[in-house]
Structure 1
Amino acid sequence: MPTTAFSAHYSRELDVEQLGWLLSGDRPGDDQATVADLSQWAGWIRTDIRCSSCGKTGAQVVRPSKARGSQAVLRQAHFRFVDHQGGDGHHPFCEFYGNDTGEARQTDSLLNFGSEKSAETRAVRLLVCKGIETGLFNQATIRAMRQWFFDMKSESRFKVRATPEALAWARSLQRHPSYRRWTFHPAQAEMPAFDWQAAAKFQFTEENLALVELAKTVVHQDAEWKRAGLMAAKHFGQEVFNTAALQPYYEDTLTLCAFVAKNSGISFGKTSPDYYRFQGAPIPLLALCALMLFTSEWEMNTAIAKFARLLASAEPSDLSLGNMIGLNPFHDYAAWRLVILAAEVAERSLKGFDYQAQLTAIESDLRRQHAIWKSAG
């Protein structure tokens, strides 16, 4: 459920509030957040408004909703795309495909519609409008970036082969403690409080070091592993976008995000910029930094210089120029990387995928070695 979409008539990407301003000609004050009733333009919206990712039409406006008896926002205004049969209107390879279900949450998109973040939307809208008005980029640039990302992912595909067992195995390997190395000798077990389980884990490291190191090349939080499992199950055996093709661009964008968050004087959330590489950057910031790098031909210092100009520029005179907060160019990047990683690890695993069973077997073997050593002594 994207929060912004592209208007062919206005030649710009708009959020629902901005579209309402343009259609009704009525703009509230800057301190208000009002979405006009657009039902009279429903037919026009269906044919004019396009998904910012896949370009499909069939848009409907979903108005915001608030909790009864309070001002708490349960759902932010957004667009929903449906086909003529009432089904999902997105391209099957679009990142929004399968998400236009009316649910309150859209995973890995820019906003959690179950919480109020419209202030964040307006903050990024302000920066985008400033950038357009000062000529740092324009709607054509934003649209070109969307197409560039879509084309790159379309040209690189892979077949989903990771099973739930393979994902669980890769996750266990990633979490396996391998920072200390230790070689077992039966004499060690003569200690009165010898830790057999720890010894088994040390031995597991020695026997599976290459696999453990491979699993640790892509580190993400539990939420991403859960998302990876859902996606692998949903698309098993199917060809999907190989988002790993975006890795160098994702790494550069994270680097710029961390720099901007540390040096812009703007708060982009509670997550420390030092943890962006592990927990991910705030999605609005990620999208804006990707745009800056795209317009700079992915040259870091050029993008930083443009960001400095953007932050120093005057307030825009027109807040309806556009908003690109509604699409994460690296949608589900982390989860797909884990799906690919799990398949790679599985191919190299010759003893199965049961982590605990292997530890148990190793411990039994160490105890056997100790018994033989002791009986021989």
Structure 2
Amino acid sequence: MQVILGGYMATTAYSKHYAREIDVEQLAWLLSGRQPDASEQVSEIDSKWSEWIRSDVQCSSCGRIGAHVVRSARSRGTQKVIRQSHFRFLGQDGNDAHHPFCEFYGEDDGVLSQPDGLVNLGSERSAETRLIRELVCKGIEQNLFDQSTIRAMRQWFFELKASSRFRMTVTPEQVEWARCLRRHAHYQRWTFHPAQAEMPGFDWAAAAKYQFTEEHLPLFELLRETPVEATHWRRAQELTIRHKDQEVFDLSALRPHYDAALTLCRFVAKNAGVKFSPTDPDSYRWKGPPVPLLALCGLSLFVSSWDMNAAIAMFAKLLRSPAPADLSRGNVIGLNPFHEYTPWRLVQVSADIASSSFDGQDYPGRLAAIEAKLREQHRLWKLQNP
């Protein structure tokens, strides 16, 4: 099954003039001609730069121009950031200027509602994001990689996506069927025998669930290492609706790279001597690693030709290097090619399960049918063993 990693607001873009990937805050620093201290935030850009920005700033994935700066917004009541400052790319007709297979094509409202796909500088995770930005700046100053490398990674992902696609046929009902299977306690195994039903308090419903497990073991194998959390499954259903009958990206082309980046994230978080997030690294497989860390791990592996030990050696050098002199030189916000990987993988898994579910996709109905079958087995057994 093929899936695309769906569109998000472009929190960063590529400046031809500055030859680097920048976010709105960093562009404001550069255009103002001054270097702020580490705690200062400057995000206002004079409107006189609008035309220049439209012709200079490119989408860092598909390379299209037409950038407009969208300012951040806060809730009137709580002053909480509800929209992050970002770039919106529009054509002369006012429509989305991104290539249809660009990861930023489509919905672009800037609302901070999808934590898997963006890094929110206005949230409590800002310190985490800035830590990763500092490491990227170190890497550039230490000549471990540069802005052209970061752009090359974006191009690699875009070309991979554009060359691996298929039409979305997965339905929300198929995702729900896979979710029911994931919540089923398939690790509990018990083989039914009619004699067991002679017990006074025999649990027919439990027996049906045990039998369900035995009859669907190949499907449970497909669900290995998928999350239980409802948020990922709901998002997967939303994606099937949004991309219905559209050409979408083949996720299987990305999985080896994601697995490698996840492995590196876990190793770095355990051995860096720096706390990247409160999440236990051993739970990254199910809960997901910090998005900025995942982005930098992906970049490190890309630079290292996906050699794990070479990427670890690079991280060791980054962590030992002195503080960077210029905080505007690096950016990984928006660099992460794995955003929304988990819900998209669930879409793929749901498709695989649906194609292998020959006895229907009604979970309560299947359990009822199995229980009826077991009761009939017991009835016939009783006739032979009065």
TM-score by length of 2: 0.92
**C-alpha distance in structure 1 between counterparts of 2:295 and 2:32, whole Å:** 29
Q: 2:16 aligned with 1:8, yes or no?
A: yes
List alignment gaps of at least 5 residues for structure 2: 1-8
Structure 2 counterpart of 1:309, one-letter code: K
Q: Which moved more, 1:26-35 or 1:338-347?
A: 26-35
**C-alpha distance in structure 2 between counterparts of 1:351 and 1:64, whole Å:** 51
Identify the residue that residue 377 of structure 2 maps to in structure 1.
369
Q: 1:85 aligns with which of 85, 93, 96?
A: 93
Q: CA deviation at 1:95?
A: 1.8
Counterparts in 2 of 1:110 and 1:101: CA distance versus 1, 3 Å: closer
Q: Which moved more, 1:254-263 or 1:80-89?
A: 80-89
Q: 2:43 aligned with 1:46, yes or no?
A: no
**C-alpha distance in structure 1 between counterparts of 2:325 and 2:120, whole Å:** 29
Identify the residue that residue 123 of structure 1 maps to in structure 2.
131
Q: 1:136 aligns with which of 135, 144, 148?
A: 144
Counterparts in 2 of 1:280 and 1:69: CA distance versus 1, 3 Å: closer
**C-alpha distance in structure 1 between counterparts of 2:220 and 2:129, whole Å:** 41
Identify the residue that residue 355 of structure 1 maps to in structure 2.
363
**C-alpha distance in structure 2 between counterparts of 1:323 and 1:207, whole Å:** 50
Q: 2:207 aligns with which of 195, 199, 222?
A: 199
Q: CA RMSD in A?
A: 2.0
1:167-188 Cα offsets, whole Å, 9 max, x none, are: 1112222222222322211211
**C-alpha distance in structure 2 between counterparts of 1:151 and 1:25, whole Å:** 35
Q: Secondary structure at the match of 1:84?
A: coil
Q: 2:317 aligned with 1:305, yes or no?
A: no
Q: CA deviation at 1:36?
A: 3.0
| Number of residue pairs matched by the alignment | 377
Question: Any residues of structure 2 matched to 1:33-72 within 5 Å, and which?
Answer: 33-68=41-76, 72=80
Identify the residue that residue 240 of structure 1 maps to in structure 2.
248
Q: Which moved more, 1:361-370 or 1:287-296?
A: 361-370
Identify the residue that residue 196 of structure 2 maps to in structure 1.
188
Q: Secondary structure at the match of 2:113?
A: coil
Question: Any residues of structure 2 matched to 1:280-359 within 5 Å, and which?
Answer: 280-359=288-367
Q: 2:153 aligned with 1:149, yes or no?
A: no
- Among the aligned pairs, what percent are the same residue? 58
Identify the residue that residue 271 of structure 2 maps to in structure 1.
263
Q: Is the 8 A contact 2:24 2:43 kept in 1?
A: yes
Q: CA deviation at 1:50?
A: 1.3
**C-alpha distance in structure 1 between counterparts of 2:183 and 2:29, whole Å:** 51
**C-alpha distance in structure 2 between counterparts of 1:228 and 1:369, whole Å:** 39
Q: Is the 8 A contact 1:105 1:112 kept in 2?
A: no
**C-alpha distance in structure 2 between counterparts of 1:217 and 1:318, whole Å:** 41
Q: CA deviation at 1:198?
A: 0.5
Structure 1 counterpart of 2:231, one-letter code: A
List alignment gaps of at least 5 residues for structure 1: none
Q: CA deviation at 1:145?
A: 1.0
Counterparts in 2 of 1:170 and 1:144: CA distance versus 1, 3 Å: same
**C-alpha distance in structure 1 between counterparts of 2:83 and 2:176, whole Å:** 34
1:332-358 Cα offsets, whole Å, 9 max, x none, are: 222222212211211111111101100
Q: Secondary structure at the match of 1:322?
A: coil
Q: Is the 8 A contact 1:171 1:215 kept in 2?
A: no
**C-alpha distance in structure 1 between counterparts of 2:215 and 2:161, whole Å:** 37
Q: CA deviation at 1:89?
A: 2.5
Q: CA deviation at 1:73?
A: 3.4
TM-score by length of 1: 0.94
1:173-215 Cα offsets, whole Å, 9 max, x none, are: 2222222322211211111111111100111112222222223
Q: Is the 8 A contact 1:60 1:81 kept in 2?
A: yes
Q: CA deviation at 1:114?
A: 7.3
Q: Secondary structure at the match of 1:161?
A: coil
Q: Is the 8 A contact 2:226 2:286 kept in 1?
A: no
Q: Is the 8 A contact 2:82 2:111 kept in 1?
A: no
